[in-house]
Chain A
Amino acid sequence: AQRVTQPEKLLSVFKGAPVELKCNYSYSGSPELFWYVQYSRQRLQLLLRHISRESIKGFTADLNKGETSFHLKKPFAQEEDSAMYYCALVGTDSWGKLQFGAGTQVVVTP
């Protein structure tokens, strides 16, 4: 069975400090991994996908198949990064069904 674990419910960081959101997954094949973000009073939206290997809003995430992790990182947090972040997985044997983690609330304080 596929599973996504985000161990931190809440992450509080100061503006300008690095931030890392942890995500671990279990899946027997080669999944696609995503990070979705929900800002206050906005809809859930894609932040980045591992296959794109891109940096969005200063965030990066590297898929580590050995550790089955897909941690999200940003070197200098900004106040506008305050949001709920969800790690999600799509298996190769599905119709694009997302398996979400429980989410991490990030609060960036000045």
Chain B
Amino acid sequence: DVKVTQSSRYLVKRTGEKVFLECVQDMDHENMFWYRQDPGLGLRLIYFSYDVKMKEKGDIPEGYSVSREKKERFSLILESASTNQTSMYLCASSLGNPKTQYFGPGTRLLVL
């Protein structure tokens, strides 16, 4: 069974803080993804990575950065958290083919 874990289930941060969200997968997947999930908007892709140290912007990368130093770990960084980044953040991983993605449990972030 593929296991995708996220470091925190709930986080509360203050505006302007630097926030790190960690994601680890244990199936040697090449691709990893970060999404945010908002009611009425579905899931929107923030960043993805197809290899170690490689990253590509998704649909809404503004205000975020990522890091992938090891194949199993993909970090999402909010450089200076803002209230409009309050959301549920989902990490996912996949092989190149098939393209099925496996999701982590999510991190619910509240920025005050």
A interface residues, Cβ below 8 angstroms from B: 6, 9, 32, 34, 43-46, 49, 86, 90, 95-103
Contacts and interface: CB of A to CB of B under 8 A. Distances in A.
Contacts, number: 52
Interface residues of B, number: 28
A103 B45 contact: no
A76 B20 CA distance: 44
Given A44-B90, A46-B100, A49-B100, A98 B43 contact: yes
Interface in B35-74: 35, 40-45, 48, 50, 56, 58
Contact of B45 (A32, A44, A98): A98
Where chain A touches its partner, the secondary structure class is: loop
Interface of B: 4, 31, 33, 35, 40-45, 48, 50, 56, 58, 90, 92, 94, 96-106
